[in-house]
Amino acid sequence: DTFTAPQYSTSDATSFAHTSARSRWPIIITQGIDDVHRSLHGTKDEAKISEGKGIVAELARLKYELQHDRELTPIPDDGERDVEAYNKELAARGPAKWHSVPWLYSECYLYRRIASIFKQTKHWRSYDVFARQKISTFKSSRPAVVELAGRYQNIVTALQQKKTARGTETQEQREAAEKLLFTEMCEICLWGNATDLSLLTNLSYEDIQKLQGSEARKASEKNILVNDLDNAFSVLTAAQEEGKKERRVDIVLDNAGFELFVDLILAGYLLASGLATTVVFHPKSIPWFVSDVLPADFGALLSALADPQTFYSALSEDEKQLGKEAVPLSDTETADLQFLFQDWSTLHAEGQMMLRPNDFWTAGGSYWRLPKTEPELFEDLRESELVIFKGDLNYRKLVADAAWQPTTPFTTAIGPMGPGSGLRVLALRTCKADVVVGLPEGVDEKLKAGGGDEGADSGARKWAWSGKWAVVQFSDGKA
């Protein structure tokens, strides 16, 4: 990649990379070890048990290397085509140690290393070491899920009725109402990213309410530092007015559970409103940054919705130990959730919602490389009216995780994905890492000074680490 700014490194004492490598990652590996132990308890298959013990030992070794600042070693050949690219890059970088290595590459490498441990086995090849965590957080966002399900059903039904019976409102009023609904749906989808597993615990009921209704949405709007949703809306309505038959929106997914749920809400809304005719989802191919969506998470979400009563009445081991009791869903709640299942599985079956995996999304580099290293995927994305990138890591990859001046235009920071690419990019990102671009002059300084943390003195951008602030940025891809 060619950048004009250096990339964040785990040696950079003021960045979130520093504490990530030293505190967060060892904890993530430990949680992985715990998870495998639990699965070991549940199996009687000797061969599987013996392999499982080997996995635990390998994970412990990785943790040791990380904590003792050893060199990153080549990823063993586990039969997948992406190993070579990871190792070539590692070799090209020269000897790299865990505590002084570019953040983006090393964090991707970490998850690829973990995946290779499982991929080299027979019984654990497709095991998802983070699946338990993902499903249990989804369960704990039940109030939000139930509320949004009810709201979704109302919206979709109203949109269907509108198609047949035009109201008395003027064209202008109608457009304003459509834009407002679009904005609201996108912002629900945006804030769904604030709940990823590596950072936040469960949403409180108040947090959940913040995600809903126009009053509440207005309140959280002040935390969106740049909001280009109007541009995205214009692109989609222009294509619609042009009478284009096939109008695709792509969503490069981030997290499973609640975030995937709101991604589906947005997708279903885009289809029901006619702003898109198909939605293509891009999941990850290996367990990734703890909470990211794998194709199996998609299926797990749909089957939870197909039989929500069973899903919510099954208690986890932890819940049982705490003496918790399942509270049954009301009939309306069950019906609302099953409506989602019906609607989404029909859209999926009819090809209006599609899942399109590609191992590029779990490569070690930034998206600056996409046009060159993955020309087919790039061409495919160019056919889309709008490519939505969800979440923090996708944003870091778009802007190459480099220490840009925060006022650098978004279109500059995304390099080859920007002007002249022919790609219409929309990033929906809650900030959980240092990099941020496209801010108006003075905003970063103000947040650094006003955050009540020591960030201002150290030069650290701590305000950008917690998911409290967000940016919604657009690039139209024109030369």
Nearer to Mg ion, 378 or 389 (CB): 389
Evaluate whether 90 touches 96 at the Cβ level (below 8 Å). Answer: yes
Q: Is 330 exposed, middle or buried (0-12, 13-18, 19+ CB in 10 A)?
A: exposed
Binding interface with ligand F6P (CB under 6 A): 16, 20, 107, 193, 196, 198-199, 254-255, 289, 291, 391-393, 396, 432-433
Nearer to ligand F6P, 28 or 417 (CB): 28
Nearer to Mg ion, 198 or 352 (CB): 198
Least distance to ligand F6P, CB of residue 345, Å: 26
N-to-C CA span, the chain: 20
Return the residue of 254, 297, 336, 385 that touches Mg ion, per CB under 5 A: 254
Least distance to ligand F6P, CB of residue 189, Å: 13
Please report where in the chains the tokens 């970063």 appear, as a residue.
444
In 3D space, the residue among 120, 152, 59 whose CA is nearest the CA of residue 342 turns out to be: 152
Map the footprint of Mg ion across residues 437-456, applying CB under 5 A.
none
Could you tell me the two tokens for 81?
A: 């085509």
Could you tell me the two tokens for 93?
A: 């970088």
Q: Please identify, among the stretches 22-30, 235-243, 244-252, 282-290, the one whose residues bind Mg ion according to the rule CB under 5 A.
A: 282-290
Map the footprint of Mg ion across residues 157-196, applying CB under 5 A.
196
- Three-state DSSP string of 266-307: HHHHHHHHCCCCEEEEECCCCCCCCCECCHHHHHHHHHHHHC
Nearer to ligand F6P, 149 or 400 (CB): 400
Evaluate whether 249 touches 267 at the Cβ level (below 8 Å). Answer: yes
Least distance to ligand F6P, CB of residue 41, Å: 29
Return the residue of 8, 289, 341, 367 that touches Mg ion, per CB under 5 A: 289
Q: Please identify, among the stretches 83-91, 287-295, 400-408, 443-451, the one whose residues bind Mg ion according to the rule CB under 5 A.
A: 287-295
Nearer to Mg ion, 39 or 255 (CB): 255
Least distance to Mg ion, CB of residue 197, Å: 8
292 binding Mg ion? (CB under 5 A): yes
Least distance to ligand F6P, CB of residue 287, Å: 13
For 224, residues 6+ apart whose C-beta sits below 8 A from its C-beta are 187, 190, 469, 470, 471, 472
Q: Which does 284 bind (CB under 5 to 8 A by kind): Mg ion, ligand F6P, none?
A: none
Q: Which does 51 bind (CB under 5 to 8 A by kind): ligand F6P, Mg ion, none?
A: none
Would you list the DSSP string of 32-84?
HHHHHHHHHHT---HHHHHHHHHHHHHHHHHHHHHHTTPBPPPPP--S-THHH
Q: Which does 432 bind (CB under 5 to 8 A by kind): ligand F6P, Mg ion, none?
A: ligand F6P
419: alpha, beta or left? (left if phi > 0; alpha if psi -120 to 50): beta
Evaluate whether 239 touches 252 at the Cβ level (below 8 Å). Answer: no
Nearer to Mg ion, 82 or 254 (CB): 254
Evaluate whether 198 touches 28 at the Cβ level (below 8 Å). Answer: yes
- Which chain residues interact with Mg ion by CB under 5 A? 196, 254-255, 289, 292
